[in-house]
Amino acid sequence: MANHHPSSDPSGVMATLKRSGIAYLAAMAVVLAVAFGTFYFSDADAGIATGQPPYTVSLVSQSANQETATGLALSVADVAETANNAVVTVYTFVEGGGFNGEFPELVPAQESPEEWPSGEPAPLGAGSGWIFSEDGYVVTNAHVVGGADSFVVQYHDGTQVEAELIGTDVFQDIAILKLVLDDGATVPGVAVIGDSAALRPGDEVVAIGSPLGEFTNSVSDGHIGGLDRSLEVGNGISLDNLIQHDAEISPGNSGGPLLNMRGEVIGMNVAKVETAAANGPAVSGLNFAIDGNTVAEIAESIIANNGSIAVPYLGVQTQLTDEGTVVLGVEPGGPADGAGIVAGDVIASIDGAAVDDDTSVMRLLLEQEPDDTVSIGVQRDGTHVEVEVTLGARPEGI
Q: Which residues are catalytic?
A: 143, 173, 254
The secondary structure of 197-236 as a DSSP string is GG--TT-EEEEEE-GGGTSTTEEEEEEEEEEEEEEEEETT
The secondary structure of 331-387 as a DSSP string is -TTSHHHHHT--TT-EEEEETTEEPSSSS-HHHHHTTS-TT-EEEEEEEETTEEEEE
Contact 74, 263 (CB under 8 A): yes
Instruction: Look at residue 148 and give its three-state secondary structure.
Output: coil
Gyration radius (Cα) of the chain, Å = 22
Contact 84, 208 (CB under 8 A): yes
Instruction: Look at residue 289 and give its three-state secondary structure.
Output: strand
Cα–Cα–Cα angle for 328, 334, 335, nearest 5°? 95
Residue 138 CB partners (closer than 8 Å, separation 6+): 88, 90, 129, 130, 131, 132, 153, 163, 176, 177, 178, 179
CA-CA distance, 268 to 243, in Å (whole number)? 9
Return the bridge partners of 94, or none: 122
Evaluate the CA torsion angle 208, 209, 212, 215 in order and state its sign.
Answer: positive
Start-to-end CA distance of the chain, whole Å, equals: 35
